[in-house]
Amino acid sequence: MKASYLSAAGPKITVRKARTGDADQFITLVNELANYEKLSPPGRKEIRRLRRDAFGKNRKFELVMGFAGSRAVAYAVYFMTYSTFLAKPTLYLEDIFVLPEFRRAGVGTAIFSILGETAARRRCGRMEWSVLKWNEMALNFYGKIGAKELSEWTYFRMTEDNFSRLIRAGKTGRRALTQG
């Protein structure tokens, strides 16, 4: 899938699946997203894993990128999950990022269009993603494209530093979880 159009902001915008040669620009955009969200960017080990998982033999996720000419200006990382209630796959959007100077130029809409085509082609029952509560621009954009906020759901996260506690709890019974 590929989308191209002339942007009012300047050069021709192209959105397409990422290729191996896009790896450096992808990492640059990941660092830009980390900066935007006031997070630490990935270190050397994480960058190696990102490259392998995006472009290697056993890819862990799929990647779409937006370009203004040859410059990468946006990306979206996504993968498939599954809804047992719909008995259909779900396209889960892990990250979407557009450089600030290219926001409102149609790049996000083009990325979502490609993701929508992918979800339809794969017979997904839905697409899902999360957004930071302070990101008003993104919240407004998602509303404009027809996405609905799920106020009845709360997201939880467990990081790898808690996995050993969870594993221990499974081996020793419920007390290990409640005793911390």
Which residues are known to be catalytic?
Answer: 142
Show the 3-state SS of the chain: CEEEEECCCCCEEEEEECCHHHHHHHHHHHHHHHHHCCCCCCCHHHHHHHHHHHHCCCCCCEEEEEEECCEEEEEEEEEEEEECCCCEEEEEEEEEEECHHHCCCCHHHHHHHHHHHHHHHCCCCEEEECCCCCCHHHHHHHHHCCCCCCCCCCCCCCCHHHHHHHHHHHHHCCHHHHHC
Q: Which two tokens stand for residue 167?
A: 């594993």
Q: CB under 8 Å to 10, separation ≥6 — which residues? A: 68
